[in-house]
Amino acid sequence: MGDYSELARNIQFDRSEHTVSSSDSGCLLIGVGRSAAVFKIAGEQKVIKVFFPGLEGVAAEEAHIYGLLSDSEFYPRLYDSGMNYLVIDFIEGKTFFQCLTAGIQIKKKYLDEVDEALGVARNAGLNPSDVHLRNIILKPDGHIMMIDLARFRQVKDHDQQWEDLKKVWRYYDHRYFPKKIPESLLNIAAFIYKKTWEPFLERRKAKS
């Protein structure tokens, strides 16, 4: 594939900005998130991530971060980027979220690899934030890969979310704890965490 910018230009969103209205025949839509749509590029082990209108700054930020981490085994390689898109490796596997809904056990060694990956990011001068179940992929070879890095350079105090997930894992690892969890239950837990627990932690830090 020569001109990835042409692919990006052919991808259009409707007025809702979160629905793809048209795309290139060389692209297969594989996911839509809060800020962008992701397409598998035909004939290549790469994806093109095209950001919604008005989020060009997020696109530039994420491309910069991927560029800093492209040499790490824990992050996809950046191949190209433009005003509203970036091209990175296509990663086969399941997110931690999908593992939980499918009953695939998340082992301690996977958590250790996430910690190692976050250490690589910090050594690159980044401040990893918003680390959650949907941006960690377990590959078929049993190793992890991290995606969606736009918030890895936030100027804020240490993000507690990943540490809290590891605390919950201690209960999950118990032999009697169910390893297959309904998607609806995970979504409710995430909502409560964002709306209740995180604000509580921020208020407590402000008082200390």
Q: Enumerate the active-site residues.
A: 130
Of 154, 65, 27, 108, whose CA–CA distance to 76 is shortest?
65
Non-local CB neighbours of 178 within 8 Å, separated by 6+ positions = none
Candidates 46, 106, 52; CA nearest to 76 is 46
Beta strands in the chain (DSSP E): 12-13, 20-22, 27-32, 36-41, 46-51, 78-81, 85-89, 94-95, 136-138, 144-146
